[in-house]
Amino acid sequence: MQKDVIIIGAGASGLMCALEAANRGRSVLVLDHSPKAARKILVSGGGRCNFSNRIMGPEYFISQNPNFVTSALSRFTPSDFISLLEGHGIEYQEREEGRLFCTGNSSQIVDLLFSECCRAAVGFRLNCAVSGLSNTDGFEVETDQGVFKSHSLVIATGGLSYPQLGAGNFGYLAAKQFGMRVTKLLPALTPVRFSAEDAPVFAGLSGVSINCTVSTGATSFTGNLLFTHTGVSGPAILQISSYWDRQSSLSVDLLPELDIYSLLIEKRRSKILLSTILDQHLPKRFVKLWCDLQGAPKPLNQYSTEEIASIARSLHDWPLRAEGAEGFNKAEVTLGGVDTVDLSSRTMESKKAPGLYFVGEVIDVTGRLGGYNLHWAWASGHAAGQFA
């Protein structure tokens, strides 16, 4: 079978690329090894699909080339995707920090993309395993459903996150096959594990949530930290995991909106227990454990100024001793990917193999939590679809 464009991967970036290319009059075939397409879209945003973010810019993405995303983002904005939703009567809502969600569920997004692709005559072969790629007179894709040929080939296979949904290293192997580089790959937007020493100490706090600021180096995020059986999760931890080098320490400000030193100094003549004051600002289970680790709590009037200063420092700069991040099975995205040095930022085309394109998570572009990774899928897929 001969097509103008073959896209390997029926996820967010692949479907957007297929739609854009087909709308240009190109004959398009999408292949995917899974029996069901767009599975990652279905689980995104807790099933509500955090499809984009009103606040968009290169500063919300990590890449060895921070400016790589600029062109694609400027040509496909959050408003462009919203127009698609409105054209299909899909309601959406804006939440904190500009996050955009479907009012209904994620399947509405998948149905929209398939509806648009079908209208544009995009072909699909699901449950189709690719066994080989070659490029002589055009591209040839060998599969368990036959051999397919095309003028352009788009790799939209995603990263290593969500292996339970079929994620794998196909895209990276394809890049290397055609002489392209791949940066170091790490799980990102992922929970963090306590050190072996601290894990049993804090295991009893599983389920406790604290609004805090987590920092590594000059980077910090404010949001919920959630204790788990093995470590910590929650938005603040997921965000910082993308920036943490796994070697340096993580610092937690447990009371980012309160000057606890001034408060304690103000009440230092009181006989009130330290734990009683902390209970007003932090979960009781955490306060009990924290006080036990510090020693038996005393009335405030029994603490010296130096002791109060030390207590304040430990609350505003609690060292989170982490052993490492959880693996790809719990990561939302992959940090790293196909080196952007080998790609055109305008077209997503390989500089080493004309006609070969890479889109979405497989590229060395990682967005923050909050709809950025899905928007990169839309924007990069749209960019490639304009040229493939």
Please indicate, yes or no, whether residues 159 and 203 belong to a single structural domain of this protein.
Answer: no
Give 182's strand partners. 338
Q: How far is CA 292 from CA 64, 210, 289, 316, in A?
A: 44, 18, 5, 18
Helix (H) or strand (E) segment spanning residue 172: helix 170-177
CA distance linking residue 198 with residue 211, whole number of Å: 21
Domain boundary among 274, 300, 325: 325
Q: Which helix (H) or strand (E) holds 223?
A: strand 219-227
Residues 200 and 94 reside in one and the same domain = no
pLDDT at 249: 83
Domain identity same for 63 and 98: yes
Low-confidence ranges of the chain (pLDDT < 50): none
pLDDT number for residue 247 = 86
By DSSP bridging, strand 50-53 and strand 99-102 are antiparallel
Same domain as 26, residue 174:
yes
Return d(Cα 113, Cα 317) in angstroms, integer: 46
For residues 174 and 284, membership in a common domain is answered with no
- Are 130 and 226 contained in the same domain? no
Give the domain extent around 177: 2-186+330-385
- The reply to whether 71 and 87 lie within a common domain is yes
Task: Specify whether 94 is located in the same domain as 170.
Answer: yes
- State how far the alpha carbon of 181 is from the alpha carbons of 135, 234, 350, in Å: 18, 33, 11
To which H or E segment does residue 216 belong?
Answer: strand 209-216
* Residue 247 belongs to domain with CATH number: 2.40.30.10
Q: Are residues 255 and 167 in the same domain?
A: no
Q: DSSP 3-state assignment of 230?
A: coil
Same domain, 210 and 166: no
pTM equals 0.96
For the chain, the domain total comes to 2
Asked if 109 and 121 touch (Cβ cutoff 8 Å), the reply is: no
pLDDT of 69 reads: 98
Is the domain of 23 the same as that of 170? yes
Residue closest to 350 by CA, chosen among 178, 186, 141: 178
Cβ proximity of 337 and 364 under 8 Å: yes
Residue 193 corresponds to which tokens in the numbers above?
A: 């594990």
Summarize pLDDT for 290-311 with one digit per residue, the tens: 999 988 778 999 999 999 999 9
CATH for 90: 3.50.50.60
- Domain check: are 231 and 143 in the same one? no
pLDDT of residue 43: 87
Check residue 193 and give its pLDDT: 96
Tokens of 357: 């394109």
Ramachandran angles phi, psi of 154, nearest 5°? -115, 125
Please answer whether residues 332 and 370 qualify as being in contact, where contact means their C-beta atoms are separated by less than 8 angstroms. no
Q: Which of 325, 354, 377 is the last residue of a domain?
A: 325
Q: Which tokens go with 158?
A: 């995603």
> At which of 305, 325, 345 does a domain end?
325
